Every structure is written in C-alpha cells, then in structure tokens.
Amino acid sequence: MSAVNVSAEEIDRFARLAARWWDPDGESRPLHDLNPVRTAYVAGRVALQGARVADVGCGGGLLSESLARAGAEVVGVDLGDQVIDVARMHLHESRLDVDYRVQSSADLAAAEPGAFDAVCCMELIEHVPDPAALIRDLAVMLKPQGRLFVSTLNRTVQAFSAAIFGAEYLLGLLPRGTHHYENFLRPSELARWMRDAGLELEDAQGLKYNPLTRKACLGGSMAVNYVICAHRPV
C-alpha cells in the first residue's frame, strides 16, 4: 500500500470522533448540516442513478450514503479504520449498499483508473500533507467527462474567524486543533492543481453555513467554505 500522503495525527483526530459520527448534534454536526446542500450540488451536475461514484476521505459515510440513496454505486475510501468501521456498521441501519474500503487515494487511483463518473472529496484536502498529489490521484479515477467535486476551507481571515476561532474556540462545536489555518486552500490554488492534472474547471460556489441557525446554502461568498467542480475532458 502506498499510503504516503497522510498525516497519522489527522487520522487519530478523526478516529476519536468515529463513535459519534452519526450523531447530528455531535462533533460532526457541521458535516451533517452541510450534507444535504453538497449532495444536491453533486446531484445537479451528475445523473446519479446507476453512476459509479468515489467518495475519497469518506469518514463515517454521510455523503456516501446520500449518494447511494440517490441511486449511485458508491465506493467510499478513508485511511482511518475506525471511521470505516462506523460507516460499515451504519449500513445495517440505513439498509443501503456502499463499498467501503480502508484505502489511500493513490491505491484507489492505481486500482481503478478511469472508472468513476464522479469523484467527491469533501473536507479532506486541508488535512493531507500534499494536496496537489491528492488532486492528481482524484483526476486519474475519472472517466472521460467524469466530474470531480472538492470542498474545503479558504485561507482567509473570515475562514480563520469562522472555522477556527468561532467553531473551535468560541462555540466549542469542534475539538480544538481540528483545523490548521496554514493548510486552508485558496480556490486559485485548487484550480491550478486541477488544471495541472488535466481537468477543466466547471464551477465554483461558496458554501454558506451558519452554525447557530444550522442553515447551509450554496452561492454567495467563497471566503469561508467552498466547493469546486471540474471535469475530465474527452
């Protein structure tokens, strides 16, 4: 296994959240609140019924399950075995079918190049040591015309205030140390790596989230959370 693009500290951090992953009021609460909006965004750009979709850094499987519920054949990979255990267990409750694997992005890309209609990588890229290499792996997985969706946090004062100061320190919604400002990524950086990986940019949207009202919506400013969609040309 070529699992080099990983920080053990990050995997441990998420392993501690594994047991409460599906608790909508637990530490994964922002992911629960964002999930319907990001699922709708993907569903608006890919015909999910019967599509093969990879969810890279799937965690406990929030997005994987909603994509499967929309009719996609989903492969969910993560390098945390505890979160994958939780994701697998939750299938007993949801009665959905998702192929969960403890596998790196590089190994999935090597095993199944050009195999996916869509590849989703949500809230992961700010946690890996080499984000450009992750984008290259994700690009390899796409079929021609396949779409890549990446969401992350922008490297701005607003993102620092909301995701670190607000969510971790002021409101205590996330454990302190969940995010590192220097790993946040500007949309222009992500866009450059996508182009370098041979992809064409299609769309970029802000993902607005108010942790107090728990309302999330697409559009508006990309200063905090955002999602970028690119596709592999034929």
Q: Which residues bind ligand SAH (CB under 6 A)?
A: 5-6, 10-11, 14, 31, 57-59, 62-63, 78-80, 83, 104, 122-124, 127-128
Give 124 or 190: the residue with its C-beta nearer to ligand SAH: 124
CB of 26 to ligand SAH, least distance (A): 13
Residue 23 contacts by C-beta under 8 Å, 6 or more apart in sequence?
Answer: none
C-alpha dist (Å) from residue 113 to 53, 106, 137, 232: 13, 10, 9, 12
Per this entry, what is the length of the chain? 234
Give 83 or 228: the residue with its C-beta nearer to ligand SAH: 83
Q: Which residue is closest to ligand SAH by CB? A: 59
Give 81 or 196: the residue with its C-beta nearer to ligand SAH: 81
Give 80 or 211: the residue with its C-beta nearer to ligand SAH: 80
Strand ranges across the sheet with 98-102: 98-102, 73-78, 52-56, 116-122, 142-153, 225-231, 200-210, 215-218
CB of 170 to ligand SAH, least distance (A): 21
DSSP, collapsed to helix, strand or coil, labels residue 12 as: helix
Give 135 or 145: the residue with its C-beta nearer to ligand SAH: 135
Q: How far apart are CA 222 and CA 182, in angstroms?
A: 17
Residue 42: which of 216, 203, 195 has the closest Cα? 203
Q: How far apart are CA 191 and CA 187, in angstroms?
A: 6
CB of 7 to ligand SAH, least distance (A): 6
Scanning the structure block, which residue is given the tokens 């994958």?
84
CB of 34 to ligand SAH, least distance (A): 7
CB of 32 to ligand SAH, least distance (A): 9
